[in-house]
Structure 1
Amino acid sequence: MPAQFFDQTSASGYLVHMSTWYVYLLRCKDNSLYCGVTTDPGRRLQEHNAGDGKGARYTRARLPVTLEAVESFPDKVSAYKAEYAVKQKKADRKVEFLRRISVEVNEEHCLHSEF
């Protein structure tokens, strides 16, 4: 198996699986939510809070941000589809919706995966 598929400890200290994609929700200083996609949630949170231009423009104006929720997805396409779906929901429903869609996508992926 290629090296990029093994678990690795990221620079942020989080153990990440290199083929897994994550959708995350950040709670901003003004209590709004920001949704994004990454392969390393810990690193991405640090980038958002650094305020040095690596975080999203939306969060730079609303620092500091905290990690509200993070869910894993088996591939990039399903993560971006989930991000889009989360962004269509009202703020008070985003966290629960993200958790629910993650379970559904991962169960579907397991049903179609070969072991």
Structure 2
Amino acid sequence: MYLIRCNQGKLYTGITTDVERRFAEHTGNDKKGAKCLRGKAPLTLVMKKKIGSKRAALRIESRVKKLSKVRKEMFVEGKIKIREL
């Protein structure tokens, strides 16, 4: 799982098996990156966490996406742990 901050301070959450490759796709000019991140450069990878299975990663990603902006920031800062979600 990973979180990317765009130029407006918005946080994007995603999952992948290769964070560096996926981040390069988001920042590249090809059409492999997320549509919602296009035109929002510069992008910054602010967090990456290894999650055991795809099922667990999808569950945690869903929980993170439902957090408020303040709680997401606390998660990025390490004030909220994955097990607390």
Tell me the TM-score normalized by structure 2. Answer: 0.85
Give the partner amino acid of 1:26.
I
Q: Secondary structure at the match of 1:78?
A: helix
Map of 1:67 onto structure 2: 45
Map of 2:13 onto structure 1: 35
Map of 1:4 onto structure 2: none
Give the partner amino acid of 1:79.
A
| C-alpha RMSD over aligned residues | 1.8
State the structure with bigger RCO (CA 8 A, min sep 6), 1 or 2: 2
Q: Secondary structure at the match of 1:67?
A: strand
Map of 1:45 onto structure 2: 23
Please list every run of at least 4 consecutive aligned residues from structure 1 whose deviation after the TM superposition is greater than 6 angstroms: none
Tell me the TM-score normalized by structure 1. Answer: 0.64
Map of 2:56 onto structure 1: 78
Give the partner amino acid of 1:81.
R
Unpaired runs of 5+ residues, structure 2, are: none
Larger Rg: 1
User: What per-residue deviation string (whole Å, max 9, x for no partner) do you get for residues 10-68 of structure 1?
Assistant: xxxxxxxxxxxxx1000001111100000011111110000311110111131221101
Q: Secondary structure at the match of 2:64?
A: helix
Mapped partners of 1:86, 1:50: distance in 2: 25
**Structure with the bigger percentage of strand:** 1
Give the partner amino acid of 1:54.
K
Q: How many residues align?
A: 81
Give the partner amino acid of 1:80.
L
Unpaired runs of 5+ residues, structure 1, are: 1-22, 106-115
Mapped partners of 2:73, 2:61: distance in 1: 11
Q: Secondary structure at the match of 2:67?
A: coil
Give the partner amino acid of 2:49.
E
Q: Is the 8 A contact 1:25 1:95 kept in 2?
A: no
Q: Percent identity?
A: 38
